[in-house]
Amino acid sequence: MATYHELKTQLADLSRQAEEAKALEIQAVVDDIRAKVAEYGLTEKDIFGRRSHAQVVRASSGIPKYRDPETGAEWTGHGRAPAWIKAVKNRDNFLIAGSASAAPVRHTSRKAAGKVAASGKATSGKVAQKKAARRAKRGAAGKATAQATD
């Protein structure tokens, strides 16, 4: 039977050999992957999928909008307000001058933004009128068929 020190030496040799074999095989695997990506025109998104919303949120740190003049601490304006600005009613004194984020931000839902972009402001009144006319026509037709069946 082998001693502890002999087994430990063998283990170290096998670890070293495994690392060398892995290094040789990795280059072959990477070359194969690159060839297939070029052949099929694959993108990073195709291989790894879409980033989740949590990853996207984590990736963007945000641009600071407010700064504490005493300590220099900054806040983006999103999330829970820090103690130094929490009780302040008018936060204009803490705005960072020249910051692109100093302008007020209007938040809209994706659904509302899509509707505005698709319909345009000029035609929104016409669209609403057409929808109302169709509803009225359907309502009148529904009443007429209901009376006819009585």
Contacts of 64 (CB under 8 A, 6+ apart): 74, 75, 76, 96, 99, 101
Nearest to 75 by CA among 86, 59, 90: 86
Distance, first Cα to last Cα, the chain: 101
- Choice between 129 and 55, residue whose per-residue pLDDT is larger: 129
pLDDT digits (tens, 9 = 90+) for 78-113: 889 999 998 888 888 888 876 654 455 555 566 666
Q: What pLDDT is recorded for position 118?
A: 60
pTM: 0.30
